[in-house]
């Protein structure tokens, strides 16, 4: 497969049963074959997207000493600002060429999780930054819920199987700024090859070259979405749960050609996480003689903690 398949969420939520079934089939096949799909018909309005990009560009343009106020020690970068070069891909020592911000869950009716999750960080200099971030978070979470319902049907589960696990889940909205490249990078690229930790990732900003996906032949292919599409991929948690039936695909963000080094790149992934208690034990209907169990039993919280250590964001 040398192109990313496209699907339209409006087919899934329509009253047309045939369109809904075709969406489930097409989405499931894409996630089994390459682990990525370009999705239109999501719940983000054009005006909301424009507002978010405007706000994050204003934030990353703030003086470094102002941004540094919002880098909160001791929480593994789970909320607020993470400065340039701090994060690296699993297995790499060189930091990625990026800085980013984290919006986290807006917990409802769960005092335990409200006390466990770090609080979102308010940017005093930008009065609309947090409001726009929260609205985007909610619309992406709603989109992700519908995608996971379709995947539940594909995996022959109850359609709402994931709902209880993603309500108040530890999901993250991450606006990323890849600054202009000012000198020859030493073995560093904007985001080194990696798989995502979570259930699924919804990516805004994959409209130009940069994001690449590795296909089954080990070839890097460009993943480019239309302006109205989100790029969605399977994360390692969903891969474990489905005993690798759904593929968590290695991907990277490469440096642009030298003539474009002077330009910034922005992308905004939404990492859909469940609550920490969710079991990631391989589903029984994904294990048989031809597909033996590939992964040890683990919870989502335990798995996330392991990966944050590997990424250098928290210490053992």
Distance CA 125, CA 14 (A): 42
Distance CA 202, CA 229 (A): 10
* pLDDT band of 5, cuts 50, 70, 90: very high
* pLDDT band of 4, cuts 50, 70, 90: confident
Partners of 80 in the β-ladder:
102
Architecture of the domain delimited by 6-310: Sandwich (2.60)
18-32 pLDDT, tens digit per residue, is 999 999 999 999 999
Question: If you average pLDDT over every residue of the chain, what do you get?
Answer: 88
Distance CA 70, CA 63 (A): 12
164-208 pLDDT, tens digit per residue, is 999 999 999 999 998 877 666 665 555 567 878 999 999 987 556
**pLDDT of res. 73:** 86
Question: The pTM is what?
Answer: 0.89
């Amino acid at each position: 497969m040398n192109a990313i398949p496209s699907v339209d969420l409006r087919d899934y939520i329509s009253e047309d049963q045939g369109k809904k079934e075709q969406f489930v089939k097409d989405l499931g096949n894409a996630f089994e074959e390459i682990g990525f799909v370009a999705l239109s018909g999501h719940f983000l309005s054009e005006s909301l997207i424009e507002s978010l990009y405007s706000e994050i560009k204003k934030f990353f343009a703030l003086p470094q000493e102002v941004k540094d106020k919002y880098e909160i020690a001791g929480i593994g970068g789970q909320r607020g600002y993470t400065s340039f070069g701090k994060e690296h891909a699993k297995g790499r020592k060189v930091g990625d060429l990026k800085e980013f911000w984290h919006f986290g869950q807006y917990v409802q009716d769960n005092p335990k999780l409200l006390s466990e999750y770090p609080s979102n960080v308010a940017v005093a200099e930008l009065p609309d930054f947090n409001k726009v971030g929260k609205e985007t978070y909610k619309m992406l979470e709603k989109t992700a819920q519908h995608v996971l319902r379709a995947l539940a049907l594909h995996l022959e589960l109850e359609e709402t199987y994931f709902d209880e696990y993603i309500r108040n889940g530890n999901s993250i909205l991450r606006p990323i700024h890849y600054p202009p490249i000012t000198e020859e990078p030493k073995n560093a690229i904007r985001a080194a090859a990696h798989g995502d930790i979570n259930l699924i990732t919804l990516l805004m900003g994959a409209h130009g070259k940069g994001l690449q996906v590795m296909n089954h032949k080990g070839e890097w292919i460009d993943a480019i979405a239309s302006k109205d599409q989100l790029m969605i991929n399977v994360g390692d948690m969903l891969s474990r749960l489905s005993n690798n039936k759904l593929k968590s695909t290695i991907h990277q963000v490469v440096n642009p050609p030298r003539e474009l080094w002077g330009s910034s790149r922005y992308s905004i992934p939404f990492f859909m996480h469940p609550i920490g208690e969710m079991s990631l034990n391989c589903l029984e209907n994904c294990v048989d003689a031809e597909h033996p169990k590939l992964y040890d039993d683990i919870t989502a919280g335990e798995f996330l903690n392991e990966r944050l250590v590997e990424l250098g964001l928290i210490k053992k």
